[in-house]
Chain A
Amino acid sequence: MLYREAGQFKSTYAEDQQIFPIRQDRFAVALLLAVAFVAVPLFANQYWLSAILTPFLIFALAALGLNILTGYAGQLSLGTAAFMAVGAFMAYNFVLRMPWLGVIPSFILAGLCAAAVGIVFGLPSLRIKGFYLAVATLACQFFVLWAIQRIGWITNYSASGVITAQKIEILGYVFDTPVRKYVLTLAIVAVMALMAKNLMRSETGRAFMAVRDMDVAASVIGIPMMKTKLLAFAISSFYCGVAGALFAYTYLGTVEPEAFTLDLSFRILFMVIIGGVGSILGSFLGAAFITLLPIFLSVLFGGISHATGMEISHAVVSNMELIIFGGLIIFFLIVEPHGLARLWQIAKEKLRLWPFPH
């Protein structure tokens, strides 16, 4: 009953084509943004801002990128971390060598570099499908990391290959406290999420979904395969590249190739699968789940050992955390294979009728 659409009439095309056609949706999103932009910086403590919310936003952006590629366009990719690495390192280089550009244009250029790399390594998708493509993207993952290690120019010839991100200064305003970094990240992620949602309901998005569902049929009706697939790779890599740049600048503060291993690619793939393949909201839900779960388990076990006073060897605790993490993922896949976004959709369906039973 709360979520009733009855009474909401669309009288212009513009109204019909809105991103959030239902008034309750618009209200909810506005409220969410208000909380995120205003309430959270005012009330959240520093731990939540710098260790939970900022990485959540960054991973949500990367998951968004991967969702565009794997969820909407159906091209399975395991090279997400490599694209993030390209974004991070290229952002560092742009800020270092062209400081007059400014930070935001540097991020955008870094994203474009990542998109270029994405196009190159997306070329095999024209011939290869499914798991073979996934393993082929692993070639991208390993090659990019190797290249970053070897090409001294990328890391400004530092002995160890680790570089520290510079200060973020936009129009004279320095973003150095956790609150400011959080707000900057939130702004970038919100804008890009909006762009993604808009993109996915446009012709490009429909082309992606056609390619995902049945690419032979799609090419038969005239959707250009090469352009569509490469565009999917490019857009996805752009998002991952910007996420990587944010990862370096607003979260970790340092960039090293070891931070972008295959493990990170798997993590982001988990976020996409558990959040919901082919759903923008799903990327956020999945990112929240995967980011919060290890912390939750760690705090839980810490709390148990404090409460019971038991001396459990920490090796046991850490391994239990790992087992439970894997187990929960499997459990989740069994219980709701379409992900958290599907759960939310079911909730919305129920809300249409609630409190009435039918």
Chain B
Amino acid sequence: MKRTTVALALVASASFSAGALAQAKVQYVPHNYYWVGPYAASGSGIAGGAIDYLEMLNARDGGINGVKFVGDKCETEYNNARGVECYERSKKNGPTGATLIHPLSTGITYSLIEKGTADRIPIVSVGYGRTDASDGRVFPYVFPLITNYWSQNTAKIKFMGQQAGGMDKLKGKKIVNLYHDSAYGKETIPVLDAQAKMYGFQVTHLAVPHPGNEQQAQWLQIRQIQPDWVILRGWGVMNPTAIKAAQRAGYPREKIIGVWWAGAEEDTIPAGDAAKGYIAAAFNVSGTNYPVIQDIMKHVYGKGKGEMDDKSRIGSAYYNRGVVFSIITSEAVRKAQTRFGKGQPMTGEQVRWGLENLVIDDAYLKKLGAAGFMQPLKVSCLDHEGGGAVKFQQWDGKQWKVITDWIPSDQKLVRPMIEASAAQYAKEKGITPRDCSKEK
């Protein structure tokens, strides 16, 4: 009883401070990430990059046309219920409510889709989330930006084709899809099967039970199959365990191609020397040699602020990914301001428009200081993905070295599947898809 009273008092006080915020001209961005648990390394890295970039904009530019970014951090523990609770707690804060949400978890994204749509707050899932939300006609408030799981998969097959000397050379080859036994892991099975039929390769799907710290049986089976490539669709401890198990089974790591949630320092360093030669996909690069990172070092860490206690993590794959998240956030706000009022805080609905009309080309990237850092983006009402290209990088024992240029995905294969799946969702829910030609 007493606990509840104190809790009520504190919530009241928190809402008082939110009330004070409501007067100022600020853009409220909730930071609902995870800093504990098995994925804490990834979550804290991305959170750090995301928060630092917005801080840098505040310090260097005074925000977006004078509107500074503020935000609260909330621990979701990578748990759906906590993610929903953090969302509910933060969605009304600030003068215009929450700008948008980066759930950083496919499960939480799914849980928030309906709520975000009802509350008119965009749910942005960069490189994860619900793939068929790329069809913006059915999912107006959900943005699986840059690349979704299916596009990435087709790019991977294209990369293998490149390595084999041509897409026709893929016929008769054997590929093993080693996936994490979860919603995230299973997503690419249909698109792989479709490509297997198209190009004539054999694909075997092997499941690794969560959390993935025992893979001996799977790698013994891989040793039997002797595939030409192994796609590692893992997350968390499954990745270094897979690399080590590959070493144990004598499978060359150069033939293992990981997804972009299996391609960070956190995945290779624990595997030690075994990880040399391992290849992974990426939609952002690691490194500190970019003007945008240099600006963060100067304006944020130089002033004694900054999220990362361990400065060596600045420039890591996950940190830079967080920076990409915030580049999207801030540029969407900027775009929204061009239509709805320069120098004014934007509502979630207005930022939705900003996201849907976001165009970041090479020149724009150069202006941001992020040339080569992330790929150019062109979002539209029909296409909530906006990019679709993937780079591949290889671990040399100390860092990731990019080994290809941007490889575009096979939208001819992926788009019809996305539209079919989205149409089915629309039918189940009784949603009439928007008519993009009618909207401005």
Q: Which residues of A contact B221 (CB under 8 A)?
A: none
Q: Which residues of B contact A321 (CB under 8 A)?
A: 36, 75
Are B183 and A251 in contact, with the CB atoms below 8 A? no
Residue in A149, A161, A252, A294 whose CB lies within 8 Å of B84: A252
**0/1 string, A302-316, CB within 8 A of B gives 1:** 110010000101110
Residue in A167, A254, A295, A302 whose CB lies within 8 Å of B7: A295
B44 within 8 A of A: yes
Known: A47-B92, A299-B10. A164 touches B75 (CB 8 A): no
Known: A295-B7, A298-B75, A299-B7. A162 touches B81 (CB 8 A): no
Bound form: Cα–Cα A261–B186 in Å: 17
A51 within 8 A of B: yes
A318 within 8 A of B: yes
Are A314 and B72 in contact, with the CB atoms below 8 A? no
**0/1 string, B115-157, CB within 8 A of A gives 1:** 1000000000000001100000000000000000000000000
Q: Which residues of B contact A252 (CB under 8 A)?
A: 80-81, 84, 111
Q: Is the interface of A mostly helix, strand, loop or mixed?
A: helix
Bound form: Cα–Cα A146–B106 in Å: 19
B23 within 8 A of A: no
The segment from B11-19, B241-249, B379-387 that touches chain A is B11-19
Q: Which residues of B contact A295 (CB under 8 A)?
A: 7, 85, 89
Are A292 and B187 in contact, with the CB atoms below 8 A? no
CB distance from A43 to the nearest CB of B (A): 13
Are B114 and A50 in contact, with the CB atoms below 8 A? no
Residue in A161, A288, A319 whose CB lies within 8 Å of B36: A319
A198 within 8 A of B: no
- Per the 8 Å Cβ criterion, residues 31-62 of B in contact with A are 34-36, 40, 44, 47
**Closest residue of A by beta carbon distance from B83:** A252
- Per the 8 Å Cβ criterion, residues 254-308 of A in contact with B are 254, 256-259, 261, 263, 288-289, 292-296, 298-300, 302-303, 306
Residue in A50, A167, A289 whose CB lies within 8 Å of B88: A50
**0/1 string, B55-95, CB within 8 A of A gives 1:** 00000000000000000111101011110110011001000
Bound form: Cα–Cα A167–B432 in Å: 15
Q: Which residues of B contact A29 (CB under 8 A)?
A: none
Are B10 and A296 in contact, with the CB atoms below 8 A? yes
Residue in B13, B106, B187, B425 whose CB lies within 8 Å of A303: B13
Q: Which residues of A contact B10 (CB under 8 A)?
A: 296, 299-300, 303
Residue in A159, A296, A313 whose CB lies within 8 Å of B421: A159
Q: Which residues of A contact B89 (CB under 8 A)?
A: 47, 51, 295
Residue in A46, A51, A160, A253 whose CB lies within 8 Å of B184: A160
Residue in A159, A167, A299, A313 whose CB lies within 8 Å of B187: A159
**Closest residue of A by beta carbon distance from B306:** A311
Are B107 and A311 in contact, with the CB atoms below 8 A? no
B292 within 8 A of A: no
**Closest residue of B by beta carbon distance from A47:** B88
CB distance from A346 to the nearest CB of B (A): 14
Are A162 and B110 in contact, with the CB atoms below 8 A? yes
Bound form: Cα–Cα A258–B17 in Å: 36
CB distance from B379 to the nearest CB of A (A): 23
Known: A162-B183, A258-B182. A315 touches B80 (CB 8 A): no
Bound form: Cα–Cα A306–B82 in Å: 21
CB distance from A277 to the nearest CB of B (A): 21
CB distance from A269 to the nearest CB of B (A): 16
Are A164 and B114 in contact, with the CB atoms below 8 A? yes
Residue in B75, B182, B184 whose CB lies within 8 Å of A314: B75
B312 within 8 A of A: no
Residue in A166, A313, A318 whose CB lies within 8 Å of B307: A313
**Additional A-B contact list (10), CB under 8 Å, known A258-B210, A293-B3:** A46-B88, A47-B92, A159-B190, A159-B421, A259-B80, A288-B4, A303-B10, A314-B44, A314-B47, A317-B35
| 8 nearest A-B residue pairs (beta carbon) | A51-B88, A318-B35, A160-B183, A254-B110, A315-B35, A318-B75, A296-B7, A318-B36
Which residues of A does B touch, CB under 8 Å?
46-47, 50-52, 55, 146, 149, 159-162, 164, 166-167, 251-254, 256-259, 261, 263, 288-289, 292-296, 298-300, 302-303, 306, 311, 313-315, 317-319, 321-322
- What are 15 A-B pairs at a CB distance below 8 A? A159-B131, A159-B189, A161-B183, A162-B107, A162-B130, A252-B80, A256-B183, A258-B107, A263-B79, A296-B3, A302-B73, A314-B35, A314-B44, A314-B47, A318-B77
